[in-house]
């Protein structure tokens, strides 16, 4: 299958394009939790607060969620009728999208949509037509085109207009990738499309569909949920190391509003400056 989007260029070319388009100071806030349960509860609260704020401002909320192990616990909390989060969310005003997904059927255990459906969507009063998924069972190029078309239709976009998600949650891999923006892959160079297919040789030669980084950066509230000791070194390099987005694609995440939040457990935050007594730390990063 052919790669979609623009042909991959050199690291210097990507670095030059990003700096020309996005040069700014990014205010990074990181909140560190000693216990993973506290981390997941703080994430659920973040979803609730941002969703309610968007509904109050716009009459509706559009969120984009990611897969991985950490969000599973958050999905379960949001769906649990014995927890406060479910009742606090105006489900009839919520639209759910995905940051990315693997090109597998929804019943496959690796499907981000399938996991979210099992743990969250089937357990809450969210209207089915307010779920905009990536059709991973299709050819990757077709799945990406259909997902972009669905987003354009939902937002009623025209021409070069792009979507602005109210809440967008990311994870980060041990290799510094986020969404399905993997090191040295073609999707890192796409700046026009909303969603693209991306061939990921690092992951069993798999295909993914992902939102592009300019779309991620346009969201009103972008935050990372990261936990575990394996993430400490890549996170430290992403935030404190040299700028090399070809190798560390998470460095491409530079929200247009200049604010970026990381929700972390203590293990993931091990290589960052020690947070304050309240567990919060800040960094100012020039990109």
The β-bridge partners of 131 are 96
State the Cα–Cα distance between residues 175 and 233, nearest whole angstrom: 9
Q: At what angle do helices 112-119 and 70-79 cross, to 10 degrees?
A: 30
Domain annotation for the chain: domains and CATH numbers: 11-286 (3.40.50.1360)
Dihedral of the alpha carbons of 79, 121, 147, 185, in degrees to the nearest 10: 50
Condensed to tens digits (0 to 9), the pLDDT of residues 142-168 reads 999 999 999 999 999 999 999 999 999
The β-bridge partners of 210 are 100, 196
State the Cα–Cα distance between residues 280 and 258, nearest whole angstrom: 18
pTM: 0.92
Q: Is 96 helix (H, G, I), strand (E, B) or coil?
A: strand
| Phi, then psi, of 237 in degrees rounded to 5 | -70, -35
State the Cα–Cα distance between residues 52 and 89, nearest whole angstrom: 7
State the Cα–Cα distance between residues 269 and 274, nearest whole angstrom: 8
Condensed to tens digits (0 to 9), the pLDDT of residues 261-286 reads 999 999 999 999 999 999 999 999 98
Q: At what angle do helices 70-79 and 36-58 cross, to 10 degrees?
A: 60
State the Cα–Cα distance between residues 42 and 37, nearest whole angstrom: 9
Place of tokens 């929804």: 106
Q: Both tokens of residue 191?
A: 């700046």
Place of tokens 């991985």: 68
Condensed to tens digits (0 to 9), the pLDDT of residues 46-96 reads 999 999 999 999 999 999 999 988 999 999 999 999 999 999 999 999 999
Instruction: Cite the beta strand spans of the chain per DSSP E.
Output: 25-33, 61-65, 94-98, 100-102, 167-170, 195-200, 206-211, 222-226, 259-265, 280-286
């Amino acid at each position: 299958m052919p790669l979609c989007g623009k042909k991959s260029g050199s690291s210097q070319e990507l670095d030059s394009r990003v700096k020309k388009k996005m040069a700014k100071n990014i205010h990074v806030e990181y909140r560190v939790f000693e216990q993973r349960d506290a981390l997941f509860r703080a994430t659920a609260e973040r979803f609730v607060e941002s969703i309610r704020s968007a509904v109050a401002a716009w009459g509706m909320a559009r969120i984009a969620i990611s897969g991985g192990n950490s969000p599973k616990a958050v999905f379960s909390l949001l769906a649990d009728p014995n927890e406060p989060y479910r009742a606090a969310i105006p489900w009839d005003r919520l639209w759910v999208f995905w940051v990315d997904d693997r090109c597998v059927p929804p019943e496959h255990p690796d499907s981000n949509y399938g996991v979210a459906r099992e743990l969250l969507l089937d357990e809450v009063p969210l209207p089915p037509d307010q779920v905009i998924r990536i059709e991973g069972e299709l050819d990757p190029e077709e799945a990406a085109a259909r997902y972009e078309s669905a987003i354009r239709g939902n937002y009623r976009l025209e021409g070069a207009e792009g979507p602005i998600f109210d809440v967008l949650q990311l994870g980060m891999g041990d290799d510094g990738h986020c969404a399905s923006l993997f090191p040295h892959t073609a999707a890192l160079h796409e700046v026009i499309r909303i969603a693209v297919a991306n061939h990921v040789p690092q992951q069993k030669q798999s295909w993914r569909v992902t939102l592009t980084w300019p779309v991620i950066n346009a969201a009103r509230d972008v935050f990372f949920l990261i936990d575990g000791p394996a993430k400490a070194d890549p996170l430290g390099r992403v935030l404190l190391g040299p700028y090399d987005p070809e190798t560390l694609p998470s460095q491409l995440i530079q929200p247009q509003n200049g604010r970026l939040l990381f929700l972390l457990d203590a293990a993931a935050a091990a290589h960052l400056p020690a947070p304050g007594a309240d567990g919060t730390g800040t960094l100012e990063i020039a990109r």
